Structure 1
Amino acid sequence: MNVEPRSPLPAGEVWERLDMRRALAARDLGTVFRLLQKHGTSQRTIAALTGMSSSEVYEVLRGRRVMAYEVLCRVADGFGVPRGYLGLAYDNDTASWLDQNLVPAQTRTDHEDDARGHALLAYAAEVTVGTAGELSSEWSTVPSAATPLPGQVGPEDVEQAEAVTAQLRHLDYRFGGGACRDAVSAHARWVDKLCDLPSRPATGTRLRVAAADVHNLAGWTAFDVGLYNVAGRHLALALDFARQAKVPSLTANVLYRAGRVYLHRKRVSEALRFFQLGQLAAQDSGSRRTVAMLCANIAWTYAEMGDEAQAITHLNRAADEFSRAEDADSEPWVQFFHELDVMALEGMTRLAMARTNEVYATPARQALERSVAERTDKMARSLAFEQGALATACLLTHDSQAALEFGELALDQAHRLRSRRVTDRLAPLQELALDCPDRGARGDEVRDLGRRIEQVLLP
């Protein structure tokens, strides 16, 4: 059978043409594909590289809009184009290029503005009287334009940056990183630009704290959706800004988050090292709350490594440090860490040890029951983590009914939240549920839960 060879890939400079970059930035795949065809790339090659069928490519060429994040990523990755060109994951160079080269609205002539004003008024009239058709291509995309920067950064600019970061942090806690990561990344770029502007020394220092905080959050949200390399970049920037600002408690918090990235990926030796470095910075800061947070995470890591003695030692120290923490000891980046989190980390630590020593299963369950009982929807992701862990502990204590109850709640949260981590953390429950020894009706339901979790875990 003869196989038609693919047409050659477009030369690299094709992607740098202004018309191509505008089409990519607008996610106008129809124009992108037509420009590729103009430069010799066949429809068949486009389909093969993007994972689309030929009919789907044809529909896009005929005007169908593609908004699905996964498809846009396949297009970028298939052609080897930086995802930032499509606004999916900007790096600084891409963001700068778009800001400088996409035509901003203020460069239009008065005549162009008048013409567009009349056209918009005409379309508004059609919508009002019910005669409007589909929105024309002229209005269907919004051109990118750089937001004007202040001439000098003042305290009010920093206050606004801090307030936006605080709101984004609440969204992350409640809905998961996927609900706000793009907004956090955009805000981080804005704060980076402010850092390049003149300011008074005190304002400049406070601004660098704000920059460290938002990059810390950007790294956390990237981690939450499984973008580990992106997370690492943001966390490195956060460390640098925290160093410039000389705020050791923030440095410790960034190191804690870096440790959690590696702990989640089962790279426990590296996770432990990050947590230990964070503990040193936390001790320098004098923040007992931060020291408690690092000690609790070190305990969990030692439990994952099978070192029960060190795990218990660090759990005890975490509880002691937290009991002596003061209310004033709560900078924005560590305000989330409360008594419930100490309980939850005790539960996670004892649950990790229960895998090899069942004596820890009941204490793990008790700690997790306390944390789950007091969580609210404002910390929905933490609640989901703890419900899944509690269901696992219930299986280890041979309570199928309770395991089913909390497992169903955790699975429901996994469907609701925009968080890859929540899904990943259901894996231990899935394994135990599939092997549930209960031969009764409840056991059948638990095994069915395991199969449904398995479907969620599939890549």
Structure 2
Amino acid sequence: MNTIGSSGSLVTPEVWEGREMRQALANRDISDIYKLLRKHGVSQRQIAAATGQSQSEVSEILKGRQVIAYDVLARIADGLGVPRGYMGLAYDGAMAVRATEHEPSGSPAEEDETVKRRKFLTHAAAVAMGASVFGAEEGEWMLSSAQTPAPSRIGMTDVQQIQAATKALRDLDYRHGGGTCRDAVVAQLNWARQLLHADCSEHVKQRLFVSLADMHSLAGWTSFDMGLMDPARSHFGKALQFAKQANDDSLVANVLYRMGRVYLHYQQPNEALKLFQLGQIAAQDSGSALTVAVMCANEGWAYGMLNRPDQVEKMLGRTRDEFARADLNEEPDWVKFFNRHDLHGMTGSVYDALAEFTPERYAPLAVSETLKSNESYGDNMQRSHVFMLGMQATNHMRSGDVQQGIKVGRQALELGALVKSARVPDRLRPLQLEAAKHTMNPDARDFAEQVRTFREARSV
């Protein structure tokens, strides 16, 4: 009989305190941990669902397959509800609260993803609009952490240190994925938040709010990149609050855009669209044409996933118009990534979404746009390059050019092996499924198996 715990764990908290279990946790012996869970009546299917693994992966681990990668160990610990400290893993303040404090009934650990999405949208609306327009809850989903003493006084030099650290860590994320820098982002953030209690001028405080918003946004993004949804949501929520305190409408739009992208990744276009539309209000208020263009492009992507070609073309038209009138020298730093090459990539992503419904019409358009985007990527944007190569390859196959799809797809796998991101195997799933459709083509069958093997290895 299963012993589902009251804090969202598969088992009651006492199970983690057993001598054998504590030893297995200390040794990070995932095989023994899973075997002990099986003895408590937890099925392989339940373990797989909690940890984000396939049942075949869980079976292999039960047979002795080792799990060594830090980010995977952290994901397993979080999924099972194990205090990270029991496995010698670092955790941010949000996780520390979950590990050390008893959560009351109705706490975030017990809520399903639908409730959490609704509460985040409520919070986002309350912050962005100045009042809650979607419900009465105010941030119950958000985790909190204790604050430490602050320096007595700070100036712009201290703020610039935060900005420099954020830029360096964001470059690592773009280049190699969130797994290379997330813990460093959280550690820097814990230091930076101390400065909130220091004396400073109003100008310094305003820039501090901006810098903390940006760093929380990066913490949220890297958490999402590693499949850690609850910490991601908490960091994005705090980023939104700091951006609003700083009266920085463009940064508010930035945070809402990133959280919307999280929901797009998890195939929730309706929720994503609501966040993009909130972000569009902030973007319009900011006066930044490039920010408006980013929001329009992402709204188009959501409409593409909803198979709304009429709205897609409207949003793409607005995206091009706003992009054309943007002055890159005057735009906020966060949005300057959206250059002409990224415009092609976003347009390709929108057509890729529509190609799932009408491949004969939209797959060739997706190929054309992603091809232009892929020609521009360097080593500083490896993760985005993997995503776009996978998308291009998928649409080559949808267009009937299977061999070219395989060629480009192999490039995606080769580059994907260098990127530490939980999103890589997820984003290559359509490529695997499309290749598997070509059952009469032995090269396509072999490639589909190659992608499957790659994805499973990267998911463990």
TM band (smaller chain):
0.7 to 0.9
Q: Residue in 1 aligned with 2:444? A: 446
Gaps of 5+ in 2: 1-11, 37-66, 101-146
8 A contact 2:289–2:322 mirrored in 1: yes
8 A contact 1:365–1:390 mirrored in 2: yes
After superposition, what is the alpha-carbon deviation per residue over 1:279-306, rounded to whole angstroms, capped at 9, x for unaligned?
1100000111110011001111101001
Q: Residue in 2 aligned with 1:205? A: 206
Correspondence 1:158 to 2:135 = no
Q: Which has the higher contact order (CA 8 A, sep 6+)?
A: 2
8 A contact 1:175–1:417 mirrored in 2: yes
8 A contact 1:212–1:242 mirrored in 2: yes
Change (3 A) 1:422 1:45: closer
2:421 maps to which of 410, 419, 422? 419
**How far 1:313 moved relative to its partner?**
0.6
- State the distance in 1 between where 2:197 and 2:222 align: 25
2:437 maps to which of 435, 449, 455? 435
Correspondence 1:43 to 2:20 = yes
**How far 1:79 moved relative to its partner?**
7.8
After superposition, what is the alpha-carbon deviation per residue over 1:425-453, rounded to whole angstroms, capped at 9, x for unaligned?
1111110101126x4xxx32222121121
**How far 1:250 moved relative to its partner?**
0.1
Q: Residue in 1 aligned with 2:273? A: 272
Correspondence 1:248 to 2:249 = yes
8 A contact 1:212–1:237 mirrored in 2: yes
Alignment RMSD: 3.1
- State the distance in 1 between where 2:183 and 2:318 align: 38
Amino acid of the residue matched to residue 452 of structure 1? Q
Aligned pairs for 1:278-427 within 5 A: 278-357=279-358, 358-427=360-429
**How far 1:377 moved relative to its partner?**
1.4
Corresponding pairs, count: 365
Change (3 A) 1:313 1:236: same
Q: Residue in 2 aligned with 1:91? A: 93
Change (3 A) 1:285 1:72: closer
8 A contact 1:205–1:245 mirrored in 2: yes
Aligned pairs for 1:98-117 within 5 A: none
Amino acid of the residue matched to residue 321 of structure 2? D
- State the distance in 2 between where 1:186 and 1:301 align: 34
Q: Residue in 1 aligned with 2:114? A: none
**How far 1:84 moved relative to its partner?**
9.3
Amino acid of the residue matched to residue 449 of structure 1? F
Aligned pairs for 1:7-18 within 5 A: none
Change (3 A) 1:452 1:210: same
**How far 1:75 moved relative to its partner?**
6.5
After superposition, what is the alpha-carbon deviation per residue over 1:92-140, rounded to whole angstroms, capped at 9, x for unaligned?
5849x99xxxxxxxxxxxxxxxxxxxxxxxxxxxxxxxxxxxxxxxxxx
8 A contact 2:94–2:231 mirrored in 1: no
After superposition, what is the alpha-carbon deviation per residue over 1:405-432, rounded to whole angstroms, capped at 9, x for unaligned?
1100111222210111122111111101
Amino acid of the residue matched to residue 236 of structure 2? L
- State the distance in 1 between where 2:448 and 2:282 align: 41
8 A contact 2:328–2:336 mirrored in 1: no
**How far 1:455 moved relative to its partner?**
2.3
8 A contact 1:298–1:314 mirrored in 2: yes
The SS at the match of 1:374 is coil
8 A contact 1:303–1:353 mirrored in 2: yes
Change (3 A) 1:444 1:187: same
Change (3 A) 1:203 1:302: same
**How far 1:335 moved relative to its partner?**
2.0
Amino acid of the residue matched to residue 453 of structure 2? Q
After superposition, what is the alpha-carbon deviation per residue over 1:155-209, rounded to whole angstroms, capped at 9, x for unaligned?
1111111111111111111001111111111111111111221111100000000
**How far 1:89 moved relative to its partner?**
2.2
- Higher Cα radius of gyration: 1
8 A contact 2:149–2:197 mirrored in 1: no
8 A contact 1:73–1:83 mirrored in 2: no
Q: Residue in 2 aligned with 1:232? A: 233
- State the distance in 2 between where 1:365 and 1:208 align: 41
After superposition, what is the alpha-carbon deviation per residue over 1:363-417, rounded to whole angstroms, capped at 9, x for unaligned?
1111111111111111111111100000011001111221011100111222210
Amino acid of the residue matched to residue 450 of structure 2? R
Amino acid of the residue matched to residue 407 of structure 1? G
Amino acid of the residue matched to residue 154 of structure 1? G
- State the distance in 1 between where 2:351 and 2:75 align: 40
- State the distance in 2 between where 1:324 and 1:193 align: 40
Of the structure 1 ranges 246-255 and 188-197, higher mean CA displacement relative to structure 2 is found in 188-197
- State the distance in 2 between where 1:91 and 1:240 align: 17
8 A contact 1:430–1:450 mirrored in 2: yes
Change (3 A) 1:46 1:93: closer
- State the distance in 2 between where 1:270 and 1:324 align: 29
